Amino acid sequence: MGAYKKLREAMAGGVTLLSAMQFIQRLPYKFTDRNYFLSLREMQIQQRCGRIIHNLRKKYKKSIAALKERAEREDDGQVGGENIIWTMWLQGMDNAPDIVKMCHKSVVDGFSDRYKIVVLDENNISDYVTLPDYIEEKYKRGIISKQWYSDLVRLELLEKYGGTWMDATIFYAGGEVPSYMMGDGLFIYQTLFPATLGIAAVMNNFFISAHRNDKLLKLTKLLLYEYWRRNDYCCDYWIMYDFFEIARAEFPAEWEKVVPVDHTKIHILQSRFFKPFDEKVYRAAIDGSPFHKLSWKAEEDELAMQGTLCRYLLDKYL
């Protein structure tokens, strides 16, 4: 991200001074203690995220009240969509990297006998949902990135149809999936500790299950639409997380129904992805979670390395 874009986002989020102070604080460690530099930056990001949420809450105070009322008014009480899995690769699954194809095959192998699996791309999104014209226009102009556009698409899909959204890099390792994860209403992997002790964002949006018309997701979507209606820039990469934090504070009783499951175990395989394959570590990881969040980003030499966990999974599924 360029310096100008970083500055504009900081200004939009009301954290320009804070960001400048944080940069000065961590700068001495950039070349002397790289590990501490990175750890300090992560802690600072959480602090900055909390400030952005606070500023958004103040700026959109009137909108929050009106849109909450709308979310409640439009709730028709109907549920459904439990047997749909949504995923998306904008260029089409045939053009996806091997890691994405591997993840998709694991989901198809595991769920196609009892779930409808829908893969969205740039050509078929409009077959399922319609986003406001100003969203589409800003997406085409590059104002709304693919990530932010994907956030809006998943919210629209889950609100309209229900079901389970899985990022294209969700790997299903097999095993029993608890009913609260898929089919019993809202489920989101959470950042429990230290998030619930004061760190800003609790949600993770790579895996979301919901009944149609979920009020928490609806309010998050409506707030995002209001934000993009007013603005031609984004104040935070994790803007969906920010508005979800505001939404869950407006519906505390709904949020209490969500079974808390920490996201830590779902990232274990990725942390070992390009390291030598260890059967014991692999079995412990998949015993601990049926789903795993991977990344499609890899260098050619990493993909070509023999004996790694990545190579083991690619050979097994592809």
- Is 65 contained in some domain? no
Alpha helices in the chain (DSSP H): 3-13, 16-26, 34-59, 61-73, 98-111, 133-140, 146-161, 215-230, 239-250, 252-256, 268-271, 279-288, 300-304, 309-317
- Is 309 contained in some domain? yes
Q: According to the model, what pLDDT value does residue 196 have?
A: 61
- Is 276 contained in some domain? yes
Per-residue model confidence as pLDDT tens for the chain (318 residues):
566 666 677 666 676 777 777 777 788 888 888 887 777 677 766 667 778 888 999 999 999 999 999 999 887 767 776 799 999 999 999 999 999 999 999 999 999 999 999 999 999 999 999 999 999 999 999 999 999 999 999 999 999 999 999 999 999 999 999 999 998 999 999 988 766 655 567 899 999 999 999 999 999 999 999 999 999 989 888 899 999 999 999 999 999 999 999 999 999 999 999 999 999 999 999 999 999 999 999 888 898 899 999 999 999 998
- For residues 266 and 291, the answer to whether their CB atoms sit within 8 Å is yes
229 and 84 housed in the same domain: yes
Domain boundary among 264, 294, 309: 264
- Is 64 contained in some domain? no
98 and 165 housed in the same domain: yes
- Is 235 contained in some domain? yes
39 and 15 housed in the same domain: yes
**Residue 296: CB partners within 8 Å, gap ≥ 6?**
96, 97, 99, 100, 168, 169
- For residues 186 and 258, the answer to whether their CB atoms sit within 8 Å is yes
254 and 272 housed in the same domain: no
- Is 69 contained in some domain? no
193 and 281 housed in the same domain: no
- Is 70 contained in some domain? no
**Phi, psi for 56 (deg, rounded to 5):** -65, -40
236 and 133 housed in the same domain: yes
209 and 222 housed in the same domain: yes
Q: According to the model, what pLDDT value does residue 259 have?
A: 96
53 and 195 housed in the same domain: no
147 and 278 housed in the same domain: no
Which of these, 277, 165, 143, 283, lies nearest to 220 by C-alpha position? 165
3-state secondary structure of 293: strand
The upper half-sphere exposure of residue 5, i.e. CA atoms within 13 Å in the direction of its Cβ, equals: 8
- Is 66 contained in some domain? no
Residue 232 DSSP one-character state: S
Count: domains in the chain: 3
Question: For strand 116-120 and strand 84-88, is the pairing parallel, antiparallel, or unpaired?
Answer: parallel
Burial of 15 (0-12, 13-18, 19+ CB in 10 A): buried
Report the alpha-carbon distance of residue 5 to residue 58 in Å, rounded: 23
210 and 235 housed in the same domain: yes
CB atoms within 10 A of CB 5: 11
Domain of 12 in residue numbering reads as 3-59
193 and 286 housed in the same domain: no
CATH number at residue 207: 3.90.550
112 and 257 housed in the same domain: yes
